């Protein structure tokens, strides 16, 4: 099985100058934990994760009231908090290799690139889906989790 068999290809991306507030709103709206960040020439320059947002909030916003904290989040650029030391994989990378890399680096996703173009992302959730399918002994994809609320 290859990365292209399970990667997500419908991507929402940010540019480095967009705000932490926007990143937080997008992640909540589309229910993801990672957003690729693109540079001026649409090349991948980083990833912003929910952990990056939490870390920025804890370190930068301590002692501010909620109104001031919201205003501050609208001023911080994603480029200031994103992870830039990225591991990437190709669509033809074996899934075991991608999973091993994610486990070894303790990261929750890998951007998938074809040459220099971002073509997808593979996440822990994608790998758990493969695991569920394998444990069921079926080629059918795992059932979607129940919707709450």
Identify the CATH number of the domain in which residue 86 sits. 3.10.580.10
Give dist(CA 23, CA 20) in Å, integer.
Answer: 5
Are the CB atoms for 65 and 2 separated by under 8 Å? no
Q: Does a structural domain hold residue 148? A: no
Residue listed under structure tokens 């997008």: 26
Profile the chain (149 residues) by mean pLDDT over runs of 10 residues.
Answer: 96 94 93 94 92 71 57 76 94 98 96 94 95 80 50
Q: Does a structural domain hold residue 147? A: no
Q: Does a structural domain hold residue 98? A: yes
For residue 34, which of 118, 123, 105, 98 has the smallest C-alpha distance? 123
pLDDT tens-place string over residues 68-77: 556 666 678 8
Q: Does a structural domain hold residue 141? A: no
Distance of CA 146 to the CA centre of its chain: 22
Q: Does a structural domain hold residue 128? A: yes
Domain limits for position 35: 3-136
The count of structural domains within the chain is 1
Q: Does a structural domain hold residue 143? A: no
């Amino acid at each position: 099985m290859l990365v292209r068999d399970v990667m997500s290809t419908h991507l929402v991306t940010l540019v480095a100058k967009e705000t932490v507030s926007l990143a937080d709103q997008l992640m909540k709206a589309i229910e993801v934990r990672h957003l690729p960040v693109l540079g001026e020439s649409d090349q991948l320059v980083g990833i912003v994760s929910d952990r990056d947002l939490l870390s920025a909030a804890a370190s930068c916003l301590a002692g501010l009231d909620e109104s001031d904290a919201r205003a501050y989040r609208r001023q911080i650029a994603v480029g200031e908090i994103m992870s830039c030391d990225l591991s990437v994989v190709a669509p033809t990378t074996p899934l075991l290799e991608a999973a091993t890399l994610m486990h070894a680096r303790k990261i929750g996703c890998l951007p998938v690139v074809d040459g220099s173009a971002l073509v997808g992302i593979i996440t822990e959730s994608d790998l758990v889906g493969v695991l569920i399918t394998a444990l069921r002994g079926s080629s059918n994809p795992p059932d979607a989790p129940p919707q709450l609320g």
